[in-house]
A and B are shown apart, each in its own frame.
Chain A
Amino acid sequence: MAVLSSGRPLVLRVPGVMTTEVGSETDVKKEPEKVPEVQQHTEQPDKPADSTASASSDPPQEESRSAEAGSDQEATASPEPSSPPAAGGQKKDKGISRFLPPWLKRQKSQSQDKPGESAAPPKQESEEVVKEDQEETSQPKEQEEDGGGAEHSEEVKEAREEVQPEEKEKDEEKSIGSADTQPVREEKEGESEVKESDEKEENEEEKKEEEEKEEQQVVQQEASVPSTLKLNKKMKMVVCHVTLLDGSQFSCEVEKRAKGQYLFFQVCDHLNLLEKDYFGLSFKDNAEQRCWLDPTKEIKRQTRNSQWQFSFSVKFYPPDPSQLTEDITRYLLCLQLRQDIASGRLPCSFVTHALLGSYTLQAELGDHDPEEHRLDYISDFQFAPNQTKELEEKVVELHKSHRGMTPAQADAQFLENAKKLSMYGVDLHHAKDSEGVDIMLGVCANGLLIYKDRLRINRFAWPKILKISYKRSNFYIKIRPGEAEQFESTVGFKLPNHKAAKRVWKVCVEHHTFFRLVSPEQPTKTKFLTLGSKFRYSGRTQAQTRQASSLIDRPAPYFQRTSSKRISRSLDGAPVVNVSDYSQAAGAGENGPALELNSDSKSPQVEVVEKPNADAATSIASETAFETDDASERKSKLRVQGENIYVRHSNLMLEDLDKTQEDVLKHQASISELKRSFMEATPEPRPSQWDKRLTGSPATSLRLQAQGSLEEELTSLFLSKACFSGLAGSCSTAAAPAEASQGSAQPEVPQKSPPHPGTDSRDASQSTEVKPEVNGQPEVVEVVEETVVIEEVVKAKPKSPVPEASFTIETEVKEERSLSSDSESEEEAEYHAQPPSTSVSVQQIKEEPEEEQEAVLTQQAPPPAIESQPSAEAAEPEPAAEEEKAAQPREEEHTDEPPLTPDEAPNGHAPQHQAPPTPQTAAAEEEEPLIVNGSASRLETDHLPQVICCSEPPVVKTEMVTISDTFAAQKTEISTKEVPIVHTETKTITYEAAQLDGNGDGEPGVLMTAQTITSESLCTTTTTHITKTLKGGLSETRIEKRIVITGDSDIDHDQALAQAIKEAKEQHPDMSVTRVVVHKETELAEDDD
């Protein structure tokens, strides 16, 4: 289930995004979506969860859908209400609609109201649900209302239906193919006008509905809740005043209970702005502090006593404005920056003031005209906080040099220079450090900057930050330990008051999500337990908004440059006449996507849980079992994870400590033995080895080519220490486990058997690592795993004058945590930073070359140790099971410590799975079912051979093994599909599989973030990949360290390896080492020849 569900929503989302842009079309869209969804529902008839269940917790997407479906059914009985548009859709669909899940209906309504935010609100709602449950007393009322509302909605629908039929068709098309959305939009635009009136009504209704939803907090119920109630009631309207970036005022009437989003979209429509995700509305609170209006919450609840006076402004400054799609967006950004500069918020030098000012003149006034433009023509402009005559003269001088530049070009130039300013996009907050010294916290796209006076005294890039939290007036960030550091540290800052601390925290959460994540973090299921702020950024991330923007296909909108009233001629073409249409369309379009997101997030978890458990537990790896203990247990565990992760880790650490010395020694011994064995072993002709492998793996031929002279890994050692909070005590070293895992895994292996040539250990491993991350990995909440994969690559080039031997040690540390960072009371909250996903592959690629270069520079390897590694290579790669087997015996011999026993772990956990009554468990279960349904094969595909290959010196748990398999399978599948280069991947896959073990859920997770860090010391290069994946509300942080030890035979590789492992442990005290793979690559003269 999980796979399917997750996959579908994603797909849907994309189209949705497209549609959202379209804007006015939302109504239509909703309908089309419903139809497809209906089919889905039919598929999932089983799932229709109890409405109550759904209300309590929303599992991600599909689950939610199913739950909603259930609710819908109910709803159908009691009309859905929520959005008039939906009603229209229902009428048409009526026959179908009954079968359709309520969530579909919801989407419609939501889409209209909350395009951008849609994703977020659901999350919040779900979160809120828990809290609000207390308040749920209101629900019954809602249901009643729903009934009434349904009637109303029907009426409304009828009225609308007349207009919509055509639209519906169009919408359907759109929904089906996202790519088509834009063209459709154009067509629809005309329609949109017609609909506008309807939409407005709908929007209002929707707003109401949304509000109600929040209050009620039951998503499903919300869907069911009819907007009609609202209609019935007199709507209290409030006039909002919004100060726009050009200084003008925009006023509009808003229903008193409207959410921030509604007003925001009104403003964006007014501005004809499509790329609105960079912007926001702010207001001054009672303390005159600027606060961002949360789009997902009611305006009145945020403004409290203060007036309904807002400012439209840039919230997220795009690091590269040239990547914005539309000139109008850049223009608005320019306006914001001019404000920032004039107010002194964005400091710049005299020269820069002059330069930026000159571009402003060029954009606003056009070419300098000596007759028309006397010196005082610029007196209306403020170029700097303290504008001098000298500056004005300089501005004019420069203005003259811009002759011929169009306004759009001038804006672009303005931004190109402004973006380089060091304080561009830095949101400053006053604070004190631990010693009471006044500092400034600067939140920006890249992370958190610490200033003392004007000096930057520290910087914490997002990748460096593990957790963001606040408590009372303190703001904390938990820092990932550096190479030289052994423990993660928490840095605390004192803010003026609680509100300020929360504000910084929110800004950090938002910036991290927007700039660093691919998609917003989904609400944590654990939220039930936590009392803290559930706040999350709910809008689109930069990645998402860019994707959406790329689909914008409208003529460059007409807009006036206020100061000059100059019509902007975009480079593209002439101004468009139908301004209003476009704007509306745009708004609607955005809404659409948001809705989709919401639906995903909203999906009730409970339902899912119920269904899958049995199936999942049985078929799927025991991983889930770990996660799903008794419901009660789970709750407790979840809490533990969210808040006490540290503690757990510490426990783990203790274990490690106890064992460390011995283990380390063993490791060393085993490694050295392996080494020797390799050394001693008569090198087989590599081709033969390869052939074997190749037989196992399809891609072999390619690999061979790619590999070239490189030799494969000699040995792979898995030091997997699975630490489960409950299981920790049970960790034991089982000698046989590896074999067992093999047995189970092997059958599967052939299917997937991604080729894992050991040849290019570096490249392959890296590539593989990346892939898994990208794919998204399921996360086990409770299980905290660290995988240390240490690869030693010894390259010996006998013939080459300066032979070099390199050790590659890959250490993978997996950490699985529950995402629920939110914690305690509103007084405090946590947010776990996740690494970004998308860019990883690129980064890695880049980094690799660097490593090589460095190695060359620093160490020019002395005489090479020529080692033939024929046999060793086979060990890791999955391709040939035989090889693996062969390798294992060797390793086992060397290593006293037994491998993991996969079977045990799964069994133990399985019972737990079934038990789970609690919502959390449900979530976990959800994942399982998905797996079962969608891809049993995937699971099978796991690379057991890999596991087998590795000898696991320290404490290996069978549990881990099983988990890893599932993961591996998933990853492998993904990788094969997505990754063009099979060869390297294969290898990597193997590693991954082993690493993946911890996940076990079998559900594909959503890759939230991924990052790669490379650091070097004299003879080692450490590449750290950190990925965070979101799965079923659980986040898993996986740290994979690749340590490349490059050097001649002179270097004591064993020692270096031992040191590397030790350091890895020290650096991540809160994580457990699950795997260590040692590759030795030796470049042999033979190969070269």
Chain B
Amino acid sequence: MAGLMSGFGCFTHAVMRAAPRSLARDALRSGGQEVDLLKVQEEHEEYASVLKHRLGLEVLELPADEAMPDCVFVEDAAVVCGDTALVSRPGAPSRRRETEAMKSALTELGLNVVEMTDESATLEGGDVLFTGREFFVGLSKRTNQRGAEILADTFKDYAVSTVPVQGALHLKSFCSMAGPGLIAIGSSEAAQKALKIMQQMSDHKYDKLTLPDDSAANCIYMNLPGKGDVLLHCTPEEFPESAKVFEKLKDHMLIPVTNQEKAKVDGGLTCCSVLINKKKNI
């Protein structure tokens, strides 16, 4: 840690979790679409491969648990910032136990693990947008005020602002960070409204990258040594218009990653990994 809030996008490790067979049938979804498990697993492997081989991250892959059909979406189970990890309490009761494996994994990685024990609190990582300077927590069906408070207690250095989320599962269903100070945002009314709120709540100025498709606004930004700005984003096959927008980011290493199948169960790119920076630069 060269200092507070430095090194946004620097990651050394990633925690992932394999997709259980039960995902195809039992995973929560808003669309009610059929999911091809094989395709999900293919996507998952591609994803892991990019992190491991293309980007050189150390990927810790947790085994799937058939009792937890949504367990592949590890992002919701924990929020990691710096050396501190907050193990969340997912709003969906069926997902509560996903945190157990996550907690042990994070502990194993040497992080300062904080658990959300309050029975009244719910929080899923998909509702947590960390911009490098502050947190925005979406208040959704899965995340409540109390959960946000605990997050604020856990990461005291940062401002934590709440953003009502409507018409989407998670806050990050339509936005994410596409670079330092750059927010990728969908074009839907809900997304734009949320962005306005975030802009009003923040002391910092953010640029925005507006994407025609809300789902495409969920991307993964990293800043890796030797590679510079890296952006994992949607493929042209899924969102041709949005992909064009990403392609205008000339300074980024752009890596399209397929997410077609997981999207059917409301999974975005960010959902499938918890990124960790274990280097201690202090």
Contact = CB atoms under 8 A, between A and B. Distances in A.
Among the interface residues A349, A350, A854, which one has the most CB atoms of the partner chain B within 10 A? A349
A857 B82 contact: no
Contact of A850 (B160, B207, B248): B207
A857 B209 contact: yes
A454 interface: yes
A459 interface: yes
Interface stretch (B89-97, B196-204, B227-235): B196-204
Contacts of A232: none
Contact of A422 (B82, B134, B208, B248): B134
Contacts of B282: 351, 354-355, 398, 401
Interface in A349-368: 349-352, 354-355
B272 to A, nearest CB: 27
A453 B245 CA distance: 39
Given A401-B282, A420-B133, A456-B201, A355 B149 contact: no
A459 B134 contact: no
B155 interface: yes
Given A417-B4, A420-B4, A420-B133, A857 B210 contact: yes
Contact of B3 (A355, A444, A461, A858): A355
A252 interface: no
A455 interface: yes
A688 to B, nearest CB: 39
B162 A457 contact: yes
A347 interface: yes
A422 B157 contact: yes
Interface in B109-153: 112, 133-134, 137, 145, 148-149, 152-153
Contacts of A459: 161, 200-203
Given A413-B3, A459-B200, A854 B210 contact: yes
Contacts of B155: 349
Contacts of B153: 454
B245 A454 contact: no
B83 interface: yes
A456 B4 contact: no
Interface string B252-282: 0000000000000000000000000000001
A858 B157 contact: no
A855 B40 CA distance: 37
Contacts of A413: 3
Which of A348, A413, A444, A456 has the most chain B CB atoms closer than 10 A to its own CB? A456
A421 interface: yes
Nearest to A445: B203
Nearest to A401: B282
A672 interface: no
A857 B248 contact: yes
A459 B160 CA distance: 12
Contacts of B245: 857
Interface in A407-455: 413, 416-417, 420-422, 444, 446, 452-455
Contact of B162 (A416, A456, A854): A456
A1059 interface: no
Contact of B161 (A352, A456, A850): A456
A721 to B, nearest CB: 29
B53 interface: no
B250 interface: no
A1020 to B, nearest CB: 13
A455 B3 contact: no
A286 B209 CA distance: 54
Nearest to B153: A454
A458 interface: yes
A454 B3 contact: no
A244 B203 CA distance: 31
Interface string A96-110: 000000000000000
Nearest to A350: B112
Contact of A351 (B84, B148, B202, B248): B84
Given A350-B112, A446-B203, A455-B145, A355 B158 contact: no
B5 interface: yes
A573 B41 CA distance: 65
Contacts of B156: 347-349, 352
A421 B207 CA distance: 21
Contact of A455 (B5, B82, B152): B152
B4 A355 contact: yes
Contacts of B148: 455
B152 A453 contact: yes
Given A413-B3, A454-B149, A455-B148, A351 B159 contact: no
A355 B208 CA distance: 32
Contacts of A452: 145
Given A454-B152, A456-B201, A857-B209, A420 B157 contact: yes
B1 interface: yes
Interface string A941-982: 000000000000000000000000000000000000000000
B232 to A, nearest CB: 20
A464 B245 CA distance: 32
A512 to B, nearest CB: 15
A351 B83 CA distance: 8
Nearest to A1015: B196
A402 to B, nearest CB: 10
A411 to B, nearest CB: 14
* Most B CB within 10 A of own CB, among A413, A416, A455, A459: A455
B84 A349 contact: yes
Interface in A765-808: none
Residue among B149, B201, B209 with most chain A CB within 10 A: B201
A342 to B, nearest CB: 14
A456 B202 CA distance: 9
Interface string B1-26: 10111000000000000000000000
Contact of A454 (B84, B134, B160, B210): B160
Contact of A355 (B1, B159, B161, B162): B1
Nearest to B207: A850
Nearest to A319: B203
Contact of A349 (B157, B160, B162): B157
Nearest to B134: A422
Contacts of A355: 1, 3-4, 282
Contacts of A351: 1, 82-84, 157, 282
Nearest to A413: B3
Given A398-B282, A413-B3, A456 B210 contact: no
A464 B199 CA distance: 13
Nearest to B133: A420
Given A355-B4, A416-B3, A857-B209, A455 B162 contact: yes
A402 B203 CA distance: 31
B179 to A, nearest CB: 14
A453 B82 contact: no
B3 A422 contact: no
A52 B142 CA distance: 71
Most A-side CB within 10 Å, residue of B133, B152, B209: B152
Contacts of A446: 203
Contacts of B83: 351
Interface in A988-1037: none
Given A416-B3, A455-B145, A352 B157 contact: yes
B157 A456 contact: no
B115 to A, nearest CB: 16
B149 A348 contact: no
Interface string A607-643: 0000000000000000000000000000000000000
The 8 residue pairs across chains A and B that have the minimum distance between CB atoms: A422-B159, A454-B152, A347-B156, A456-B161, A417-B4, A459-B201, A420-B4, A349-B157
Given A455-B152, A459-B203, 9 more contacts: A349-B156, A352-B4, A355-B4, A417-B4, A420-B4, A455-B162, A458-B201, A461-B200, A854-B210
20 contacts: A349-B155, A351-B82, A351-B84, A355-B3, A355-B4, A398-B282, A401-B282, A416-B3, A417-B3, A420-B4, A421-B157, A422-B157, A454-B152, A455-B148, A455-B160, A456-B161, A456-B162, A458-B200, A850-B207, A857-B210
